[in-house]
Amino acid sequence: MSNLYERLGGEAAVNAAVELFYRKVLADGRIARFFDGVDMDQQIAKQKSFLTMAFGGPNNYTGADMRNAHKRLVAQGLNDSHVDAVIENLNYTLRDLGVGEKEVKEVAAIANSVRNDVLNK
């Protein structure tokens, strides 16, 4: 059995998902404020990077990168409920794209695995 990233469709799957996902995040009143004032083009590249990681694709992120990238947001109140909301939006995005429940769960589990680093716990 090929790995998760290949089963999902690799980079093409990330490209298909990234704008759908970003729209859902920006439309979600629970988390939209964390994206106020950020440059959308830079942000979409970061979202792509995040999805690549969550899809089990190539990345070299370290726990320290995750911590540094979210430090400012944690200071603004980023907590578990916001991580839950992001993962929820990720699930909806994958279902919109017709991804099977098994893969949806695997992606959610990878996203969840960086929770403590993201929240600087």
Give me the DSSP letters along 70-100.
HHHHHHTT--HHHHHHHHHHHHHHHHHTT--
Distance CA 12, CA 39 (A): 23
| Min dist. Cβ of residue 11 to another protein (A) | 8
Please report whether residue 108 would count as binding another protein according to CB under 8 A.
no
CB-based contacts of 101, cutoff 8 Å, min separation 6: none
Comparing CB distances to another protein, the nearer of 2 and 41 is 41
Does 89 participate in binding another protein (rule CB under 8 A)? no
Closer residue to another protein, CB minimum distance, 23 or 102: 23
Is 96 among the residues that bind another protein (CB under 8 A)?
no
Structure tokens at 4: 């998760």
Binders in 1-20 for another protein, by CB under 8 A: 11, 15, 19
DSSP 58: S
The residues binding another protein (CB under 8 A) are 11, 15, 19, 22-23, 26-27, 40-42, 44-46, 48-49, 52, 58-61, 65, 69
